[in-house]
Structure 1
C-alpha cells in the first residue's frame, strides 16, 4: 500500500509541474517571440520481485519466465522549450523586425552581458541606437551596437538586415549597419533569462555562431512585422484537461490506498 501511495504522490507532483508549465504558456500567448514549453515524464526504477529466466531446448528443455517487477511511480524527464517559429504579424512600426527562419537577435544590457532573443520589438533611442523595449542594445554581426544619426529623415530595414537611411541634408546612406543574427547547434538547450531573452552562453545549446541575415542558413528579416508567440490555445487547454484528470487520478490512488490501510488497521478490532 505504501508503494502505491508514494507513486500517487510522485504523479501529483509531476502533473502539478505540468499545470505550472501550461499556465505559463497560456499567460504568454500574446508575448512577442515567446516559445512554449512542454513537460515529458519517465518512470522511476521498478522493484523486482522475481527475475526472468531463459528457456532451454531439447527433450528435457524448460520454458522461460518473465521478470516480475512493480513500478515505483513517475518523475519528470524533461521540460522542453519548443523553438518552432511563431506567425509574423504586420505592424505599423517600421523598427519592428521579425525573423523568418533560423537565428536570434543579439542584444546587450547595461552591464555588458549579452543575450539572444526572437523579440524584434525595437526602436531607435534619442541618440540613434537601436534598442529593445527594455533598453538593451541590438548588436550587429561584429558584436557592436547598431547606431544611425539621431536626426535622420527616414530609414528602412532590408531582408538582409541592412539599414538604409536618409540624412538631414538629403543624402541617402545605403551601406548602413547590419543587424546581426546568431545560431546555436541545439536551440532546445538555450536557458531562458527573462524579458524574452536567452543566455548567450548556454552549455547545452553550444557556442553561438554570428552572421548576417540572408546568408548561409540564417533567416531573413521582415521589417514592420513581429513574430508572435507559438502557443496554441486549443492544444494548451486540451493538455490542461489531461493534466487535471491525471492529478485527480493520482490523488484517488492515495485515498484508495488509505482506505485499504484503514481496513487493515480495523482487522484487529
Structure 2
C-alpha cells in the first residue's frame, strides 16, 4: 500500500483538530475573558531508505534518504494574553488588569480555605472546591452573597474577623470596620472565606446601618458607604497567579483548575500583610469586563490555511487511489 495514503490520513486528522479549535475560538469571540487556543503540528517518524555514509577515499559522504510517514498534533496551547477592557458601568463588574485570577468555590458558606506562605495549605481539610476565573461579571443573591453568574462563591479575606454566617439561615453578619480610621484595617491573611455584601452593617452598639452604595477598589477591597455617612470595609476579594498559566485546565463555565504543570496558586497578599506580594497581580477595575482575546482576522486566516491543507491531504489520498487503479489495470 502507498505510504501517501497514511500520510494523507494523518494530514486530514490534524487539520480537522485545527479546524475544531478554530471553530471553538470563533464561537467564543463574545465570551467574557475567554482565552483562545492554537494548534501546533510535528512530523511523525521518518522511514530510512538509505543510511548516511561517511566520506571515503574516492567518494564523498552521502546523506540519509528518508521518507516521512505523516504529521501529528504537537500541542494545543492556551493563549493567556489579556483581552481588551469593555466599560459596563455596572458596580458588580470587575476586570483583572494584570495576570491575576479570581478565586471562586463551591461548598458551604461556613467553609474556608487555609493559607500558608501565600499558597493554599493542602494539608488542612476544606469543604470548598476552589477554581479560578477571569470572568468578573459578579452577582449578589437575595442574601447578599457575592457570586459568579453560575452561582460559585467569590473568595476573599475578611477584615479583622468582621464576617460571620448564620448556619441555619445562611445570612451574613458583617460588623463595622472603619475604612477611614487612624489604624489601617488589616485582612485576616491566614484564610479565605466566601464574601458577601449585605444590605446592612452592624455597628459596635448592635444597631444596623443600611448600605447606600459600595465600591470595589483596585486592590480588591470592598468598601460600603452607610446611611450615617461613614465608610466601612466589608472584605477584600482574593486574587491568585500561577508560574505557568498556560498549564491551567479549562473546566467550562469560564473556570480553570490548576494542574501539575501550572504550578500552585500564589494568593495575593491581603491588606496589612507582613509581606506584600501584590505588585505582581495588577489592578482590579470596577465597572469593566475583560473581553475575549480571540483575533478574528487571525482565526479566519488560519481557517483558510487549515481548509486548504485538509483539501490537499485529501487530494494525496485520491491521487494514490488513481495510481493503484492504474496498477490494477495493468492486469487487463
Give the TM-score taking structure 1 as reference length: 0.94
Q: Is structure 2 residue 195 aligned with structure 1 residue 195? A: no
Q: In structure 1, how many angstroms separate the alpha carbons of the residues matched to 2:2 and 2:42?
A: 20
Q: Between Structure 1 and Structure 2, which shows a larger proportion of strand residues? A: 2
C-alpha distance after superposition, 1:155-174 (max 9, x if no partner): 0011111111023554310x
> Which of residues 304, 309, 314 is equivalent to 1:246?
309
Cα 1:24/1:248, change in 2 over 3 Å = same
Contact preservation (8 Å) 1:178, 1:212: no
Q: Is structure 2 residue 102 aligned with structure 1 residue 53? A: no
Residue matched to 1:127:
143
Q: 1:23 offset after TM fit, Å? A: 0.5
Q: In structure 2, how many angstroms separate the alpha carbons of the residues matched to 1:23 and 1:212?
A: 39
> Which of residues 71, 74, 78 is equivalent to 2:71?
74
Q: In structure 2, how many angstroms separate the alpha carbons of the residues matched to 1:105 and 1:62?
A: 67
Contact preservation (8 Å) 1:212, 1:218: no
Residue matched to 2:230:
171
Matches within 5 A, 1:27-106: 27-56=27-56, 60=57, 62-106=59-103
Contact preservation (8 Å) 1:149, 1:167: no
1:86 partner SS: coil
State the number of aligned residues: 264
Q: In structure 2, how many angstroms separate the alpha carbons of the residues matched to 1:29 and 1:257?
A: 40
C-alpha distance after superposition, 1:228-260 (max 9, x if no partner): 000011111111111110100000000000000
Unpaired stretches in structure 2, ≥5 consecutive residues: 109-127, 158-190, 201-210, 271-276
Q: In structure 1, how many angstroms separate the alpha carbons of the residues matched to 2:192 and 2:66?
A: 56
Q: 1:42 offset after TM fit, Å? A: 0.3
1:153 partner SS: strand
Residue matched to 1:183:
241
Higher mean displacement: 88-97 or 162-171: 162-171
Q: 1:62 offset after TM fit, Å? A: 3.6
Contact preservation (8 Å) 1:55, 1:65: yes
Cα 1:212/1:86, change in 2 over 3 Å = farther
Q: Is structure 2 residue 221 aligned with structure 1 residue 162? A: yes
Unpaired stretches in structure 1, ≥5 consecutive residues: none
Cα root mean square deviation, aligned: 1.6
Q: In structure 2, how many angstroms separate the alpha carbons of the residues matched to 1:231 and 1:67?
A: 43
Residue matched to 1:216:
279
Matches within 5 A, 1:224-243: 224-243=287-306
Cα 1:240/1:187, change in 2 over 3 Å = same
C-alpha distance after superposition, 1:119-139 (max 9, x if no partner): 000022222221100011111
Runs of 4+ that moved beyond 6 A: none
> Which of residues 121, 125, 131 is equivalent to 1:115?
131
Q: Is structure 2 residue 196 aligned with structure 1 residue 147? A: yes
Contact preservation (8 Å) 1:21, 1:37: yes
Q: In structure 1, how many angstroms separate the alpha carbons of the residues matched to 2:65 and 2:154?
A: 60
1:247 partner SS: helix
Residue matched to 1:260:
323
C-alpha distance after superposition, 1:80-138 (max 9, x if no partner): 01000000100021110000011111001247311111100002222222110001111
